[in-house]
Amino acid sequence: MKAAVLIAAIAMLQAAAADAPPVAQPKYMRYMRALNVQQGSGQACAVLDAAIFPHAAPSLLDLRIFPKTPSSPAQNTSVAPHEVPYAILLIEPANQETDQAKLLNLGAGAEHSITFDLEMPQRPYSSVTLELDPALHDFLGTATVTATDALNGKGHSVLFGSFTIFDLASQHLSRSTTLPLPESTFPYLYVQLTMADAPGAKSTAGRFAPSIVKGASVPPSREAQTVYTTVAETNAITTQGRESIAKFTVPARVPVERVEFLMAPGSKGNFSRDVRVTATAEPAAESAVTESEGMEADQRTSLPETVTGSILRVHASEEGREISSDQLAVPTVLGANLQRAAKVEIAIENGDDQPLPIAAVRLEMRRRSLCFDAGALAGRPLTLYYGDPALTAPVYDYERLFTPVEKPLEVTLGPQLANPEFTPPPAPPRSFIDQHPELLWIALILAIAALGLVALKSGKSVRR
C-alpha cells in the first residue's frame, strides 16, 4: 500500500515539473523583426501588420521583445535574457454600441414640416440615424438640427446645420437617413424635418405625416470608431456573368474584419450594389506552413462561409437639395481562416448595369498595436521575436496597469527575418510514468492486493 502511494506521489511531482511553462528565449524563436523607436521617452507603440500572424502562435501568445540582438554575449548563455513588458492595444469602439435616442414632442410644424426633440445618450456622438417608416419610398428631406441644453428653447442652443436625407428607390439607388453632426455631448437635439417627393414618386395626400418618424438611433462617435489595417489588396477585378469578382488567398490566423472598395479616380456615377463575400479554408494538407513550424493543423472539414452587404454612392442635386452619401466598406468578420489558409472571393452583383470602375479591393483587420515603455530602455536597440508555439501568454504588470496615451511614440517594424540563431527547442521532459510505464501496472496491482486484504479482514470481522 505504501509503495503504491509513493509511486503515485512521484508521478504527480514529475507531471508538475513537465507541465511548467517554458521560458521564452530568442534562440528558440524562428522569426525576428527590428523595432525602430522614435526619439523620445514614454509610451511607444508599433502597429502589427498581417505578416506576423501566420508565423506567430495563435492569438499572438509568443510575441516577446528583447533589448539585445542574438549576437550579444548575454544570449549565448543558459540564462534567458530580460523581456521588455508590453501590452497589445486593439483599436476598436470604446465599449460603445448603437443606442436609441428618445423621441419627444413629435408633431407638425410650420410650412408642412415635422418637428420633434431627441433626448440623446449620455456620451459623445457624431451622427444620428432617423428611423422613418420603412414603407415610405422616393422622398427627399431636409433636417435642420439645433443642439440645446434644455427642452422648449430654455437652454443654451447651437445650430448644427441642415442635412439631406433621401430614398431614391425608383432610380434603383439607396436610402440614407443619417445626419452627420459635429462631435457633441448636448443632451437634446431639436429637429425640423421638411419632406418632398423625389422624382418618380407616386405622391399621395398626407404621406408625410408626423407618424412617419418612428425613432432615432445613435451610432458610436467618430472618436470611438474602429481603425483598420490593410491585410491584402488587389486590383485584379474580373467580370463573370453579372458579377465583378476579386479573389484573395489569406494565410492562416490572419484576421479579416472588413472589405473596402476603392473607386477609380474621377468616377462620378451613382450606384447601389449588393456584395457577397465567400471564404473557404484550404484543406489541412495544404497548410504546410503551420505543420512545418510545429503548430497543430486543423483537421476539420472546411465549409464555405458567406457574408453579405451592400455598397453605394449617391452624389446628386434633387429638387434643389444636395445629396452626398458614400458607403464603400462592408463589415466582414471571417472565421474560415483562423487556423488554415483560406480562399476569399468578393463578388459585386451588377445586375443589368455596367461593372463599377473599381480601382482596388482591400481586406482589412482592426488595428492592433504593440505598446511598451521606451523611457526605461535608454535608447537600446529592440527586437521583436516570435515563432515558438510552445510558449504561453506572458504575464506582465505593465499590461495589467496599461493605459493608452493620446500620442505615443511611433515605432516602425523592420522586415521579417529568419532568426539566424534559431535552435529547435528541446523536447519537454518526459514524466516519470512515461519513462517507466511498467510501474503504473505494479502500483495498480499493489493497490488491488491492498484492497483485497482489507476486504478479507473485514469479512473475518463480520463472521466473528
234 shares a domain with 220:
no
Residue 21 pLDDT: 65
In total, how many domains does the chain have?
Answer: 4
344 shares a domain with 272:
yes
Residue 162 burial (10 A CB sphere; 0-12, 13-18, 19+): middle
390 shares a domain with 362:
no
360 shares a domain with 440:
no
- The answer to whether 17 touches 378, Cβ cutoff 8 Å, is no
Does residue 114 fall inside a structural domain? yes
108 shares a domain with 212:
yes
Does residue 308 fall inside a structural domain? yes
Q: Which three cell numbers stand for residue 410?
A: 511611433
| Residues sharing a CB contact under 8 Å with residue 117, sequence separation 6 or more, in sequence order | 103, 104, 105, 151, 188, 189, 190, 191
The answer, as to whether pTM is greater than 0.85, is no
233 shares a domain with 220:
no
Last residue of a domain, one of 182, 202, 224: 224
- Report the distance separating Cα 119 and Cα 253, nearest Å: 43
| Residues sharing a CB contact under 8 Å with residue 238, sequence separation 6 or more, in sequence order | 244, 245, 246
185 shares a domain with 113:
yes
Residue 225 pLDDT: 62
What are the residue ranges in the chain where pLDDT is below 50? 4, 7, 12-13, 15-18, 70-77, 93-94
299 shares a domain with 249:
yes
Does residue 8 fall inside a structural domain? yes
Which CATH number goes with the domain that contains 276? 2.60.120
Residue 73 pLDDT: 44
- Report the distance separating Cα 127 and Cα 118, nearest Å: 12
Q: Which domain holds residue 180?
A: 99-224
Residue 210 burial (10 A CB sphere; 0-12, 13-18, 19+): middle
Does residue 239 fall inside a structural domain? yes
- The answer to whether 269 touches 358, Cβ cutoff 8 Å, is no
Residue 94 pLDDT: 47
Q: Which three cell numbers stand for residue 371?
A: 505598446
Does residue 296 fall inside a structural domain? yes
Tell me the average pLDDT of the chain.
Answer: 83
361 shares a domain with 308:
yes
**pLDDT tens digits, residue range 209-234?**
999 999 999 987 765 566 889 999 99
Q: What is the CA radius of gyration of the chain?
A: 32
Q: Which three cell numbers stand for residue 3?
A: 509503495
54 shares a domain with 126:
no
- Report the distance separating Cα 464 and Cα 457, nearest Å: 11
Does residue 247 fall inside a structural domain? yes
407 shares a domain with 282:
no
- Report the distance separating Cα 260 and Cα 277, nearest Å: 12
Q: Give the SS3 label for residue 341.
A: coil
Does residue 423 fall inside a structural domain? no
Last residue of a domain, one of 342, 366, 390: 366
Does residue 330 fall inside a structural domain? yes
103 shares a domain with 73:
no
Residue 318 pLDDT: 66
**pLDDT tens digits, residue range 82-99?**
899 999 988 654 455 788
Residue 429 pLDDT: 61
